[in-house]
Amino acid sequence: MVSEDPWKKLVDGMIDSVVKLPLIARGAESELHLGAYGGIKAVFKYRRPKPYMDPRLDAMLRRSRTVKEAKVLLHAFSEGVSVPRLLAVYPTLYLLVMEYVEGPRMKEVLEGHVDTSKACSLAKSAAAILAKLHLIGIAHGDPTTSNFIVSPRGLVLIDFGLAEYTSDIEDYAVDIHLFRRASLSTHAAISGILTDCFTRGYREQMGNEADPILRRAEEIELRGRYVEERRTVWGAGR
């Protein structure tokens, strides 16, 4: 009988204790709990079941996303990209354990009183991290200012739930576009500085290979839907 399966009992016990840890964030597809792992302050990222899906589809998706996020984190970290250190992954539990990165989100820092040179250096660091990630063949998929932590050891990129291994410059360009769009919608007053410094930082890190990617990002902005979204911001003040 399944109920007597000692492995299942162990697994259920583990998830039970994880979800009892303090919740620090809840997104559409996962929740983050704060705890400790091997003496290190750690974040437990747990993908809850989605009760509206067929259980087989749900399990398949949660498992593949957990595994992919772990692979990307491990790979990026080993290549020197500034991402949280992966401590453990339990694909069958849909659970990742990462080192806790201390500090406010870049979004919060930019929303506070921040001078232009600080804003510029943050944007440049963000661009450098993304460029490094792209150079090893990974697109992040959601690089908004909420997903960069301003930590004592510098800027750290988090949340690789939508990351992809890819060699298509379209995917890299989408990352750049998403960062720019987030700058426009969330930090309209300093968006010019942010996007300029971001572009400079990206080019400095990547070199000549940056040009076709930056050009593609411009193209993406001109595609209907995104132009409309940009108007969201400009229209807001009228």
Name the residues annotated as catalytic: 142
User: How distant is the alpha carbon of residue 48 from its chain centre?
Assistant: 18
Per DSSP (E only), the strands in 13-157 are 23-26, 31-37, 40-46, 86-90, 95-99, 138-139, 148-151, 154-157
Q: Which is nearer to other proteins, 136 or 162 (CB)?
A: 162
Q: Tell me how far apart the alpha carbons of residues 96 and 140 are, in angstroms, rounded to a whole number.
A: 17
Q: Which is nearer to other proteins, 50 or 105 (CB)?
A: 50
Least separation in angstroms between residue 11's CB and other proteins is 22
Find the radius of gyration of the CA atoms of the chain: 19
Residue appearing with tokens 């490094």: 132
Q: Report the DSSP pairing between strands 138-139 and 164-165.
A: antiparallel
Least separation in angstroms between residue 21's CB and other proteins is 20
Least separation in angstroms between residue 141's CB and other proteins is 6
The binding site for other proteins (CB under 8 A) comprises 26-29, 50-54, 56-57, 60-61, 141-142, 162, 178, 224-225, 228-229, 231-233, 235-236
Q: Which is nearer to other proteins, 38 or 224 (CB)?
A: 224
